């Protein structure tokens, strides 16, 4: 049966080439599959109930005994003494309010927290060369935001560095170069965060805009994996030596370490078509954290993946704790990764958690303000890309006598695509 014609109103004003009626017909065609997925997700929510109830009632001695009996070397997560403070796997937030809309008082509380503690955040972005360019040149930009109210010093800035490939000509070489740029940016973020933190007058709470638990490295080359893990290890080791808290903040996490913990102690599969498949930690603990600022107890990460498989208990993962933190009513709790040494200093763990909470409040209740400001400094826009390549072209012509060219296809896109679609103006 032919799909009925419909008229949609779209928010953008530029000329669209998308056939709206064809799109509607395609959506109608996959409706049964989408409905099946919705039904599966509803079933998953039912499967959450016994798992959530177990976390609500389990105590640390019981959990440790169950883990020992399971013999699991990498059970997903392990308890710490912080679990003794929890009631129903929940440690209540510092502000006595159940009304997420009444945030005026939260701003005053957050301001008071951040007036007493220096904060540093670093973020990065990069440009990769277009295919068909005669000069394989990329760029990395690192931005940072630091605020030390005790010293009366605040700073926001960025630093750009260039990446040049010695290889050119094949798609394989270009893909390898893009991977190198990604790696260099990640390493540079770690180095900048550490360098800035070590030179601040007062010890900051540092925000790392990523996860320490880098399972994606299992699919990278040995060289990529070793350099990435080396940068993380250096960051954690030197920060610990200087007693500088560096927290990893993941706003929308699909990690499943707590789910795997449950599966480990119950001898239950967590992958493929099991009842636990698709359940995330954030969804699991959401109903356990009803109040703003509520968090789960700090748990040691013990994820079993392609990165940790051949490494012992002193591997990077084992030095990292995980916390889920309720910061919004309508979204799932954020994941915060915290070096475990922080729990050993009395009061420091909760102080760090309060800084995270306060940063989100002053970030308009959406995202840590320091990370948002660092992202603003780091981000390279379409306009930046245009400026970058035009400047490189001009410089290469004047200084090297070299005419930097693009492929005919890229030039065609520049001519035929409307301004602002992402194509660099580099003719």
**How confident is the model over 33-58, as a mean pLDDT?**
84
State which residues form the domain around 402.
382-416
Assess whether 371 and 389 both reside in one domain. Answer: no
Average pLDDT, whole number, for the chain? 85
Assess whether 412 and 317 both reside in one domain. Answer: no
- 299 belongs to a structural domain: yes
Assess whether 410 and 286 both reside in one domain. Answer: no
Structure tokens at 267: 């001898």
- 9 belongs to a structural domain: no
- 82 belongs to a structural domain: yes
Assess whether 374 and 386 both reside in one domain. Answer: no
Say how far apart CA 357 and CA 72 lie, in whole Å.
34
pLDDT digits (tens, 9 = 90+) for 375-392: 999 998 888 888 888 888
- 197 belongs to a structural domain: yes
Assess whether 373 and 401 both reside in one domain. Answer: no
What pLDDT shows up at residue 426? Answer: 33
Assess whether 143 and 167 both reside in one domain. Answer: yes
Assess whether 76 and 149 both reside in one domain. Answer: yes
pLDDT of 414 over the 60 cut: no
Structure tokens at 287: 């109903």
Assess whether 350 and 312 both reside in one domain. Answer: yes
pLDDT of 35 over the 80 cut: yes
pLDDT of 59 over the 60 cut: yes
pTM: 0.85
pLDDT digits (tens, 9 = 90+) for 202-229: 999 999 999 999 999 988 999 999 999 9
- 278 belongs to a structural domain: yes
Assess whether 280 and 398 both reside in one domain. Answer: no
Above pLDDT 90, what percent of the chain? 55
Assess whether 388 and 374 both reside in one domain. Answer: no
pLDDT of 3 over the 60 cut: no
Assess whether 91 and 137 both reside in one domain. Answer: yes
Assess whether 250 and 325 both reside in one domain. Answer: yes
What pLDDT shows up at residue 335? Answer: 98
Q: How many domains does the chain have?
A: 2
pLDDT category of residue 45 using cuts at 50, 70 and 90? confident
What pLDDT shows up at residue 168? Answer: 54
Contacts 24+ apart (CB under 8 A), 214-223: 214/307, 215/303, 215/305, 215/306, 215/307, 217/306, 217/307, 218/305, 218/306, 218/307, 219/306, 220/179, 221/179
- 37 belongs to a structural domain: no
């Amino acid at each position: 049966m032919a799909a009925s014609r419909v008229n949609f109103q779209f928010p953008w004003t530029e000329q669209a080439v998308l056939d709206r009626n064809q799109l509607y017909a395609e959506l109608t065609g996959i409706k049964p599959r989408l409905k099946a997925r919705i039904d599966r997700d509803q079933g998953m929510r039912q499967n959450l109930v016994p798992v959530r109830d177990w976390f609500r009632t389990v105590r640390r001695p019981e959990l440790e005994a169950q883990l020992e009996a399971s013999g699991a070397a990498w059970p997903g997560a392990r308890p710490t003494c912080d679990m003794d403070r929890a009631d129903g796997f929940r440690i209540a937030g510092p502000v006595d309010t159940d009304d997420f809309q009444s945030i005026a008082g939260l701003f005053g509380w957050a301001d008071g927290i951040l007036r007493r503690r220096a904060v540093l955040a670093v973020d990065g972005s990069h440009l990769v060369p277009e295919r068909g360019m005669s000069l394989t040149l990329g760029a990395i930009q690192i931005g940072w935001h630091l605020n030390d109210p005790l010293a009366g010093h605040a700073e926001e800035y960025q630093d750009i560095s260039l990446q040049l490939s010695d290889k050119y000509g094949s798609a394989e070489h270009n893909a390898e170069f893009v991977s190198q740029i990604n790696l260099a940016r990640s390493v540079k973020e770690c180095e900048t965060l550490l360098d800035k933190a070590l030179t601040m007058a007062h010890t900051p709470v540092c925000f790392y805009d990523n996860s320490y638990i880098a399972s994606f490295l299992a699919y990278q080359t040995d060289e990529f994996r070793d350099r990435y893990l080396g940068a993380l290890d250096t960051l954690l080791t030197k920060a610990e030596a200087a007693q500088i808290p560096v927290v990893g903040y993941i706003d929308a996490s699909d990690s499943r370490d707590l789910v795997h913990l449950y599966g480990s102690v119950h001898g239950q599969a967590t992958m493929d078509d099991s009842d636990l498949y698709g359940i995330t930690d954030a969804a699991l603990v959401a109903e356990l954290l009803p109040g703003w600022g509520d968090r789960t107890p700090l748990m040691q990460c013990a994820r079993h993946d392609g990165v940790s498989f051949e490494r012992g208990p002193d591997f990077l993962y084992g030095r990292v704790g995980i916390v889920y933190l309720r910061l919004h009513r309508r979204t799932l709790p954020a994941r915060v990764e915290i070096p475990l040494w922080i729990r050993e200093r009395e009061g420091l763990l909760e102080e760090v958690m309060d800084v995270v909470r306060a940063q989100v409040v002053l970030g308009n209740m959406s995202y840590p303000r320091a990370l948002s400001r660092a992202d603003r400094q780091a981000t390279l826009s379409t306009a930046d890309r245009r400026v970058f390549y035009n400047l490189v072209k001009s410089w290469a012509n004047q200084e090297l006598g070299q005419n930097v060219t693009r492929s005919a296809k890229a030039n065609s896109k520049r001519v035929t695509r409307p301004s602002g679609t992402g194509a660099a103006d580099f003719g």
